[in-house]
Amino acid sequence: MTSVMSSADRKQQIREQAHANRNAQENKDELSQAIVAKFMDLPEYQASTTVLFYLDVRSEVRTRHSLEAALQSGKRIVVPYCVDGELELFHLEQMDELSVGMYKILEPKPELRTIAAKNIPVVEIDLIMVPGVAFDRRGGRTGHGKGYYDKLLEHARPETPLVALAFECQMFEEIPMQDHDVFMDKVITEAAVYEGKGRGSTKS
């Protein structure tokens, strides 16, 4: 009987383990605030004008508690929301522009999404905060398998840094990566800032 596991099966196994680890993680609020503070201390953050923050869902590293500070930091803060399987980007100026939508997900209020000035093309983003389910120290990432961020990142500027946030319990020895998969430039946890290979890498 073979013990060799396919890349897809291994990814799914890692996803399940990472979800379990993340759900069991204690002190999520405190750890999340420390992780986001590290993100906002990065030279890449200081140098950027327009920053994409994700809005946390379920047991992800929580960003919502740090958004107010980000809005006060003088940056143009952008958040994503999903429409028909694609991520659209919204210029967030005040916390009351967000509401809890379907699936209890925090998202821009529907009546504000049609305002042209609120819609930001991804090419204007100087720094992208990326969520995910599991990561490795090379910047390897796996999400939920739906490809929302993969599609978005295809259109981002090549030089725009990709910085993932995760709890240390989401870090694995190696995430199976395929040719189309994207490496992060950095992965920030409560324990470390890991220097990833980024999109310029062609080596496995």
Return per-residue pLDDT of the chain as tens, 204 residues: 344 678 889 999 999 999 999 999 999 999 999 999 999 999 999 999 999 999 999 999 999 999 999 999 999 999 999 998 899 999 999 999 999 987 788 999 999 999 999 999 999 999 999 999 999 999 999 998 788 898 999 999 999 999 999 999 999 999 999 888 899 999 999 999 999 999 875 444
Q: Strands 106-108, 98-100: parallel, antiparallel or unpaired by DSSP?
A: antiparallel
For residue 106, give the nearest of 97, 114, 94, 115 by alpha carbon: 97
Using alpha carbons only, what angle is made at residue 142 by residues 161 and 188, rounded to the nearest 5 degrees?
Answer: 45
Cβ(42)–Cβ(186) below 8 Å: yes
**Confidence (pLDDT) at 28:** 97
Which fold is adopted by the domain 30-195? Rossmann fold (3.40.50)
What is the C-alpha separation between 66 and 158, in angstroms, rounded?
Answer: 27
Question: What backbone torsions phi and psi does residue 62 show, to the nearest 5 degrees?
Answer: -85, 125
What's the pTM value of the predicted model, to 2 decimals?
0.93
CA gap 127, 105 in Å, rounded:
23
Q: Give me the pLDDT at residue 63, please.
A: 97
